[in-house]
Structure 1
Amino acid sequence: MEYLVTMVTRVPDGTTEREVAEVRAREAAHSRELAARGRLLRLWRPPLGPGEWRSIGLFDDAGPEALERTLAAMPLRVWRTDEPTELGPHPADPGPGEVPVAADSEEYLVTYAVDVPSGSGAESPAESRRVRDLAAEGHLIRLWTLPGGGRAIGLWQAPGADRLREILRSLPMADRHTVDTVPLTRHPSDPAQVT
């Protein structure tokens, strides 16, 4: 099962820079181990405020209890709180590793809800085709459903925010989407292979 985990770290007052550096070094080593075992798939930083430590990770684990054990074993957990979201399969997901991460593009997490009239399907066949075309063009890296129904989250890449907006407006049901976009920066411990 795949999970998106928002991780917020708050270093206690009085912690020395040396202590922080040691914990961060252990965290980076542990992240490499998790990536080698296929548990940590991706790691990003969303926009941060002054003094804020926040990361978003894509994890693959056997279930909620296994994920909690994985997260609890990470060195930064002594200062960190984690908010996992279980990701469900989406029929238009290109699949892991099918769309390479491009070095010349920026990545974005795009959460969207589709407002459709009752009694109609959540997506039109034209919408599904366009999503698959965008994956084939290298814009959509992954796509999942979110708990609660009617919502999805996609990992997109584009040369910039303006281009991403154009891409999302090209979806046939764009006028029915409520969209929340989070620009991502690759984390130094991100295991992704960039092409």
Structure 2
Amino acid sequence: MITHTIIFYMLLAAIWCFFVWLHYDYRIDVLRYRLFLLRDKLFAFAEDGKISFDDPAYILTRTIINGSLRFAHRLTLTDLLLAIWVQKKHNKNIQDQYDTHFEKCMQNLNLNQKKKILALHNEMHFVMLAHLGLTSPVLFPFAFVIKMALNFHLLNERRMLNKAKKGLKPFDTTIYDLGNQTAIA
């Protein structure tokens, strides 16, 4: 009976080690790889002359992606919830400032440019939500089931993103602030 208990706890410890170290490091690498792909898409869009490298919407999107890349290792559910709580508690108008800045950046774009920039933002949100779900021990079972449903086309990814967009506004604001810190430093 004692050997079964010892084996059980050793297996539990092995699973925990796998999830905390190996799986988490792998998921960070996947997140950064996908963010680099998004940044490459944005660069290619500008390189093709479809948007200017100096356009405020390009700079905003690049800043957010760069901030996400730099702080990808700190993207955890706990850190995200804490950052949103601190932001709401201590700097209530930062969300309005970001929304105003985002709208100002988007106002001079044509329809195709707006679609591309918004598509890149949506894809970034999806990548980050998938990372959060697949690295959080609490969300992992749900995220795994949702990921399998998406892989088998049982759920519509775009519809899920549209529903999740409202909750992601503080997320963008926090990342934009982090991205600006990298530009200053």
- Return the TM-score normalized by structure 2: 0.27
- Return the TM-score normalized by structure 1: 0.26
Q: Which protein, 1 or 2, shows the higher relative CO under an 8 Å CA cutoff with sep ≥ 6? A: 2
Query: Per residue, is there more strand in 1 or in 2?
Result: 1
Query: Per residue, is there more helix in 1 or in 2?
Result: 2
